């Protein structure tokens, strides 16, 4: 008897729903809807859907097939509110357009999806204000944890402290914040720069110019020091005169005169990143220098550009994918073992040299 009634309503609902679906935007169906239609309580529906032993097989069957038919999906907002667990993590990065960050994201996402987490990506465009706003929005939406790579223009850290006060686990990667104690995953910039510079020396370079990033950035500092270290290793002097401050395509062109002035006495260039290296090659080529015949060049952070450059650029690969995976694993550890131990970990990935034409000093390409 009851069964017949129920299925009558069932069918009515179905046809009714599909007919109105054409005219109006139907709200997603809820457990309460199902309960009302089937004439049972929401709690029973909830339990039936998750095979709770208190529910009779018949009821389970009824509810489950009905839920299937109407394509029921639990409201994630309600679940999160009740459980205070969103299964979502936030990623805050300066710019997604950078190949390095894109690969980091891929690493993060692959681990995240595998463990049932969703990732929401925020880009700050190197803007401090945006970083503050993005982090606040993530906290407001109760993400379970956050992965951050700092903006270049961030010099205050209250918004980071704020995360800890709100109990949000955080892992910094690449652009870490020295003033905040936390888990960290970084590329070994010092060692990478040393490898790159050593390579130039091995290729026969005697006087190597360095195109450097601002020294208040860890990246800039560490890469410069790695460069100096390799020079000293080989009894070469680390001359400040050979260090030109430019770390983007634009700044290279802006300081082109300085580079050209130094070029005659130089036979190698180590640039703080690939686009700087490529821009420098172009500046030199336009001024009559041949690369790598006259001057060998090495970049940093292998992106797809390195292959496209003329000549193809020797560079050190930064292992963004691995860094992303490691960062996500660390974060999950903090989220799931709600251990309050402030035992922070730092993982370091050493870059690897990718040798191409641009560093073969003395050869024609």
Q: Which residues bind DNA (CB under 7 A)?
A: 27, 30-32, 39-44, 46-47, 49-50, 54-59, 72-75, 78-79, 81-82, 84
Task: Give the separation between CA 111 and CA 117, rounded to whole angstroms.
Answer: 8
Quick one: 138 or 316, whose CB is closer to DNA?
138
Rule CB under 8 A: say whether 97 interacts with a second copy. yes
Residues 283-312 contacting a second copy, CB under 8 A: 304-305, 307-310
What is the closest distance, in whole angstroms, from the C-beta atom of residue 109 to a second copy in the complex?
A: 7
User: Contact at 8 Å (CB) between 79 and 50?
Assistant: no
275 binds a second copy (CB under 8 A): yes
Query: From the CA atom positions of the chain, what is the Rg in Å?
Result: 29
Residue 64: name its binding partner from DNA, a second copy, none (Cβ under 5 to 8 Å by kind).
Answer: none
Options 42-50, 72-80, 144-152, 349-357: segment touching a second copy (CB under 8 A): 72-80
Report if residue 159 touches a second copy, rule: CB under 8 A: no
Chosen from a second copy, DNA, none, partner binding at 340 (C-beta under 5 to 8 Å by type): a second copy
Alpha carbons 353 and 318: distance in angstroms, whole number: 9
Burial letters 152-185, b for 16+ CB under 10 A, else e: bebeeeebbeebeeeebbbbbbbbbbeebebbbb
Q: Helix 31-38 to helix 42-49 angle, to the nearest 10 degrees?
A: 110
Q: Minimal distance in Å, beta carbon 30 to DNA? A: 3
Question: Does 109 help bind a second copy (rule: CB under 8 A)?
Answer: yes
List of residues 6+ apart from 45 with CB closer than 8 A: 31, 34, 35, 38, 63, 67
Q: Which residues pair with 92 in a beta bridge?
A: 122, 148
Cβ proximity to a second copy: between 224 and 334 the closer is 334
Identified binder of a second copy from the candidate list 59, 64, 102, 350, rule CB under 8 A: 102
Nearer to DNA, 40 or 177 (CB): 40
Q: How far is the CB of 171 from DNA (least distance, A)?
A: 24
Helices 99-114 and 320-336 pack at an angle, to 10 degrees, of 40
In whole angstroms, the minimum distance from the beta carbon of 125 to a second copy comes to 8
Where in 116-145 is the site for a second copy (CB under 8 A)?
A: 118, 120-121, 123, 125, 133, 136-137, 139-142
What string of DSSP letters covers 3-39?
HHHHHHHHHHHHHHHHHHHHHS-PPPP-HHHHHHHHT
Q: How far is the CB of 101 from a second copy (least distance, A)?
A: 9
- Interface with a second copy in residues 174-213 (CB under 8 A): none
DSSP strand pairing (88-93 vs 268-271)? unpaired
Contact 351, 195 (CB under 8 A): yes
Q: In the bound complex, what is the minimum distance in angstroms from residue 122's beta carbon to DNA?
A: 22
CB-count burial class (<10 Å; 0-12, 13-18, 19+) for 80: middle
Helices (H) and strands (E) in the chain, counts: 15, 12
Shortest distance (Å) from residue 58 CB to a second copy: 29
Q: Which does 260 bind (CB under 5 to 8 A by kind): DNA, a second copy, none?
A: none
Residues forming contacts to a second copy in the complex (CB under 8 A) are 21, 23-28, 71, 73-78, 80-81, 84, 86, 88, 95-97, 99, 102-103, 105-106, 109, 113, 118, 120-121, 123, 125, 133, 136-137, 139-142, 162, 164-167, 249, 275, 278, 304-305, 307-310, 338, 340
């Amino acid at each position: 008897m009851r069964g017949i009634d129920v299925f009558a309503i069932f069918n009515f609902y179905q046809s009714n729903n599909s007919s109105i679906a054409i005219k109006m935007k139907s709200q997603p169906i809820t457990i309460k809807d199902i309960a009302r239609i089937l004439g049972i309580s929401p709690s029973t529906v909830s339990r039936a859907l998750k095979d709770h032993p208190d529910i009779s097989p018949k009821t389970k069957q009824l509810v489950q097939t009905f839920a299937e038919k109407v394509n029921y999906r639990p409201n994630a907002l309600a679940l999160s509110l009740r459980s205070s667990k969103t299964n979502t993590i936030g990623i805050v990065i300066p710019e997604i357009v950078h190949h390095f960050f894109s690969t980091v994201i891929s690493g993060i996402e692959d681990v995240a999806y595998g463990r049932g987490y969703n990732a929401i990506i925020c880009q700050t465009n190197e803007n401090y204000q945006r970083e503050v706003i993005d982090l606040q929005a993530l906290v407001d939406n109760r993400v379970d944890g956050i992965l951050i790579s700092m903006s270049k223009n961030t010099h205050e850290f209250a918004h980071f402290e704020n995360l800890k006060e709100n109990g949000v686990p955080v892992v910094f990667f690449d652009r870490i914040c020295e003033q905040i104690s936390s888990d960290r995953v970084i590329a070994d910039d010092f060692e990478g720069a040393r490898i790159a510079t050593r390579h130039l020396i091995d290729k026969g370079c005697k006087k190597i110019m360095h195109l450097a990033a601002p020294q208040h950035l860890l990246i800039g500092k560490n890469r410069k020091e790695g460069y100096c270290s390799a020079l000293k290793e080989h009894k070469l002097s680390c001359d400040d005169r050979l260090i030109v401050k430019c770390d983007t395509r634009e700044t290279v062109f802006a300081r082109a005169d300085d580079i050209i002035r130094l070029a005659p006495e130089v036979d190698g260039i180590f640039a703080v990143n690939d686009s700087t290296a490529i821009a420098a090659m172009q500046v030199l080529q336009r001024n009559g220098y041949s690369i790598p015949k006259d001057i060998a060049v090495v970049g940093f952070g292998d992106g797809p550009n390195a292959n496209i450059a003329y000549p193809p650029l020797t560079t050190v690969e930064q292992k963004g994918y691995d860094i992303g995976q490691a960062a996500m694993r660390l974060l999950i550890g903090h989220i799931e073992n709600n251990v309050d131990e402030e035992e922070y970990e730092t993982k370091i990935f050493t870059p690897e040299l990718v040798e191409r034409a641009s560093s073969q000093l003395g050869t024609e390409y």
